[in-house]
């Protein structure tokens, strides 16, 4: 059995009740590839309205989660609160949180562990900056980010790894098909050596970074690219084309 194709849509800090319900309506009514798992991540304020209006087989993710169950943590959302609200997934480790908000590998690993233990699926984001790529440190950076999580949990059955080169996010630049496949294959090899052969074979490794309806089909043909994490394009009708990249 092959790995199920997976497409996530990260709305980031975009949208209003009107625009998000319109996007959700479009996705819900579209003819989507039934073999592709779809998860969308609206801003936290709109998680419930998204879940209410989205067709049931499409999942909803939070863009962030905290690593404590409850308490005096102003502005945060717990994994328990997400599961209580019918939200089945969360992102962790997105580069915008790593770079802009200074989240460190150990904090991201703790959040990932907490989310998994609460029953959430996790889209774990990893990736290098342009400077790190040009210094040939891509694999060192990515595997360091993965190791922080691996040190805390060996059950990766509900983890989707999203490789997102920081230099390709929102820039219009895309890693070449060969660059993306090379990193994905290396991540899979790392999973086999550091988690298990089963984790290597079953964990979905998806690509993010200026994915569009124009480049998604070629990327989707690669043996180790199991889907996409889509940013800006997830707000547009073309998101349906990306979901159907393997149809």
Domains of the chain, by residue range, sit at 5-28+35-243
Residue 100 falls in which region: left (phi positive, over 0), alpha (psi -120 to 50) or beta: alpha
**Run of H or E including 143:** helix 138-150
Query: 65 near 117, Cβ under 8 Å?
Result: no
Query: 132 near 167, Cβ under 8 Å?
Result: no
| 3-class secondary-structure state, position 219 | helix
Level-2 CATH architecture, domain 5-28+35-243: Alpha-Beta Barrel (3.20)
Residues with active-site annotation: 94, 164
Pair type for strands 121-126 and 159-163: parallel
List all residues 6 or more positions away from 3 whose beta carbon is below 8 Å from its beta carbon.
Answer: 201, 202, 203, 204, 226
Q: Answer yes or no: pTM beyond 0.85.
A: yes
Tens of pLDDT along 144-197? 999 999 999 999 999 999 999 998 887 887 788 999 999 999 999 999 999 999
Tens of pLDDT along 6-42? 999 999 999 999 999 999 999 999 999 999 999 999 9
């Amino acid at each position: 059995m092959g790995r199920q194709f997976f497409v996530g849509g990260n709305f980031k800090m975009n949208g209003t009740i009107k625009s998000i319900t319109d996007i959700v309506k479009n996705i819900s009514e579209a003819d989507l590839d039934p073999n592709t798992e779809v998860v969308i991540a609206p801003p936290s304020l709109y998680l419930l309205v998204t879940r209410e209006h989205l067709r049931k087989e499409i999942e909803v993710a939070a863009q962030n989660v905290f690593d404590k169950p409850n308490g005096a943590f102003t502005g945060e959302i717990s994994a328990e609160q997400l599961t209580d609200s019918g939200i089945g997934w969360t992102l962790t480790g997105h580069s915008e949180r790593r770079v802009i908000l200074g989240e460190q590998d150990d904090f991201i690993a703790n959040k990932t562990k907490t989310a998994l233990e609460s029953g959430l699926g996790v889209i774990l984001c990893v990736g290098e900056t342009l400077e790190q790529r040009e210094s040939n440190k891509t694999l060192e950076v990515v595997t360091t980010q993965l190791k922080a999580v691996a040190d805390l949990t060996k059950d990766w059955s509900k983890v989707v790894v999203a490789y997102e080169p920081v230099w390709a996010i929102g820039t219009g630049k895309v890693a070449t098909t060969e660059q993306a496949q090379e990193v994905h294959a290396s991540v899979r090899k790392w999973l086999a050596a550091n988690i298990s052969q089963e984790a290597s074979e079953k964990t979905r490794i998806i690509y993010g970074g200026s994915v569009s309806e124009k480049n998604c089909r070629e990327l989707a043909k690669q043996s180790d690219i199991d889907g996409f994490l889509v940013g800006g394009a997830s707000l547009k009708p073309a998101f349906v084309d990306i979901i159907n990249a393997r149809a």
